[in-house]
Amino acid sequence: MSSPIVFYDIPGKHPKYNAWSPNTWKTRYALAFKGLPFKTEYVEYPDIEALCKKIGAKPTDTKKDGSPHYTFPVIYDPNTKTVVEDSLNIARYLDKTYPDTPRLFPDNTHVLQNAFLAASGSAVMMPLFTVVILATCNNLNPRSEEYFRRTREVSFSKALEDFVPAGEEGAKRWKEVEEGFDKIASWFTDSDQSGPFVMGNIPSYADVDLASRLIWAKVVLGEDSEGWGKIKQWSGGRWEQHLKLMEKYENLA
Amino acid sequence: MSSPIVFYDIPGKHPKYNAWSPNTWKTRYALAFKGLPFKTEYVEYPDIEALCKKIGAKPTDTKKDGSPHYTFPVIYDPNTKTVVEDSLNIARYLDKTYPDTPRLFPDNTHVLQNAFLAASGSAVMMPLFTVVILATCNNLNPRSEEYFRRTREVSFSKALEDFVPAGEEGAKRWKEVEEGFDKIASWFTDSDQSGPFVMGNIPSYADVDLASRLIWAKVVLGEDSEGWGKIKQWSGGRWEQHLKLMEKYENLA
């Protein structure tokens, strides 16, 4: 390994954390965890498709109208001349290509890690999405903000402002997020295992998955926000602690 | 370890497999996997509560009316003079108490295994339950059959016959079960891991969990039934194969 990996990410307005997307953070943490040198290239939302086509990155999904959907993260590894799309694919690529660095999927836990991603996703992803989507939009630079709002409002057929209704209804959504995180916490507490990470004392991809959702909320809501203040206290402080433990992998290169 | 563990199970009418319950099969597989001698005591549904009270087993749940709910599996281990309830608790107890036998939760995978149980449960448990509940009832001996039907019909406010409607609606339910199993299969195929088990070449509790659901369907639907014929073909034959691999732990002692 000689040349730094090129890592394509979407910029935000946060003064410290340019990076905010939970999906691209998975790659950012993964690269840092493996100790691989990399260099971020920030691309605004409306420019993602053109960039992907230019470097030969494949679409990862299909839009409602049937056209290809290009998404980040994407990496270009000049050492192998390979473009890789999708956070999970990238993580697997890194484990395979750089087997002498710490493993994201240790000890034959690929299938278990996949199940963890499915279970943690269904526990928190939808309710978390609803309570942070407006803040996510507001954290973007103007061109991305306009693009994000327009495309999401078409896709969900509602204004971003209507995702988290005020008052009681809003409190109910937040409660759902908390219950989801409590459910994940119960997998830790209801076990004969110690150590702060999903696999005890060593971090693995499941920890990257959790931290990416948490840092997303922290960055777009803001560290001093009421929302992040709530999350910090959930599950006995486990999530604030988790993010602190992963801080050493917060490489903003 | 000298005396066999006493394992309390619910009997059925299947000529080969007395045991049929997915929850008690988890314990049956677990005991056999660890090579621990045990002896089954079969107890009909209406007698479970009295048996639990007699041996000092705690209720594992609360009924709708607020009264305690006693469930199987329960074990009594004469070597430690301990009664343990609930399949997952029992599995953990066995790993802790008999650390020199094969591990159900190897290599710090407790949290990951918990997530697997949550994810596989939400992928298939509800739709599978609906398509096998009537066959489950019909497989019971008369006293248990009457008890099972009466309590389930109160609990779900519908006749067991109405769980799987005929025709198109029924086909839709079966399709949901298939999609759930395909989702689980994708955790295996969409990974850089080989070997037939969740953790590659060694079985663990996640495999016990999967096999318990499969053998439940096989026993109560019947090996020659249309339903089991379907399941055998799903996910490229993966599930029939999985049950075959776990056959050596089908100890009906």
At B42-98, the pLDDT tens digits run 999 999 999 999 999 999 999 888 999 999 999 999 999 999 999 999 999 999 999
- Nearest alpha-carbon partner for B133 in B158, B115, B113, B99: B158
**Token reading at B215:** 């053998």
Interface of A with B (CB under 8 A): 92, 95-96, 105-116, 118-120, 122-123, 183-184, 186-188, 190-193, 195, 198-202, 206
Q: Which of A106, A111, A190 sits opposite B191 (nearest CB)?
A: A111
Contacts of B206 in chain A (CB under 8 A): 111-112, 115
DSSP state letters, A151-203: HHHHHHTS-GGGTS-SHHHHHHHHHHHHHHHHHHHHHHHSSS--SSBTBBTB-
Find the angle CA(A33)-CA(A118)-CA(A121) to the nearest 5 degrees: 80
Select from B108, B122, B188 the Cβ nearest to the Cβ of A111.
Answer: B188
Predicted confidence at residue B1, as pLDDT, reads 61
> Cβ of A187 and B111 within 8 Å?
yes
- Per CB-CB distance under 8 Å, the chain B contacts of A186 are 114
Q: Are the beta carbons of B116 and A113 separated by less than 8 Å?
A: no
Residue B164 banded pLDDT, cuts 50, 70, 90: confident
Query: Per-residue pLDDT for chain A (253 aa), expressed as one digit of tens each?
Result: 679 999 999 999 999 999 999 999 999 999 999 999 999 999 999 999 999 999 999 999 998 889 999 999 999 999 999 999 999 999 999 999 999 999 999 989 999 999 999 999 999 998 999 999 999 999 999 999 999 999 999 888 999 988 887 788 889 999 999 999 999 999 999 998 999 999 999 999 999 999 999 999 999 999 999 999 999 999 999 999 999 999 999 999 8
Confidence of residue B167 (pLDDT cuts 50, 70, 90): confident
Q: Which residues contact B63 (CB under 8 A, 6 or more apart)?
A: B69
Q: Measure Cα distances from A192 to A37, B16, B34, B104 in Å.
A: 37, 36, 18, 12
- Average pLDDT estimate for B187-195: 93
**CB–CB contact A198 B111 (8 Å):** yes
In whole angstroms, what is the distance from residue B218 CA to residue B215 CA? 5
Are the C-beta atoms of residues A115 and B120 closer than 8 Å to each other?
A: yes
Phi (first) and psi of residue A39, to 5 degrees: -140, 125
The CA distance from B80 to the nearest CA of chain A, in Å, is 19
Query: Which residues, at least 6 apart from B179, have a Cβ–Cβ distance to it below 8 Å?
Result: none
Q: In this predicted structure, what is the pLDDT of residue A1? A: 61
- Distance, CA of A68 to CA of A82 (rounded, Å): 21
Q: Are A186 and A120 in contact (CB under 8 A)?
A: no
Lowest mean pLDDT among A23-37, B102-116, B155-169: B155-169
Per-residue burial over A72-92, b if 16 or more Cβ lie within 10 Å, else e, is bbbbbbeeeeebbbbbbbbbb
pLDDT band at B107, cuts 50/70/90? confident
Q: How far is B187 from chain A (nearest CA, A)?
A: 5
Distance, first Cα to last Cα, chain A: 17
| Gap from A125 CA to chain B (nearest CA, Å) | 14
Structural domains for chain A: 5-97 (3.40.30.10), 110-249 (1.20.1050.10)
- Mean pLDDT for chain B overall: 95
In this predicted structure, the answer to whether residue B113 has a pLDDT above a threshold of 90 is yes
What chain A residue is nearest to B204 in terms of C-alpha separation? A112
What's residue B165's pLDDT? 76
In order of A106, B19, B50, B69, B73, the CA distances from B83 in angstroms are 35, 20, 15, 16, 11
Per-residue pLDDT, B166: 79
- Percent of chain B with pLDDT strictly greater than 90: 89
Task: Please count the residue pairs, one from chain A and one from chain B, whose beta carbons lie less than 8 angstroms apart.
Answer: 109
User: Which of A123, A188, A201 faces B111 most closely, judged by CB atoms?
Assistant: A188
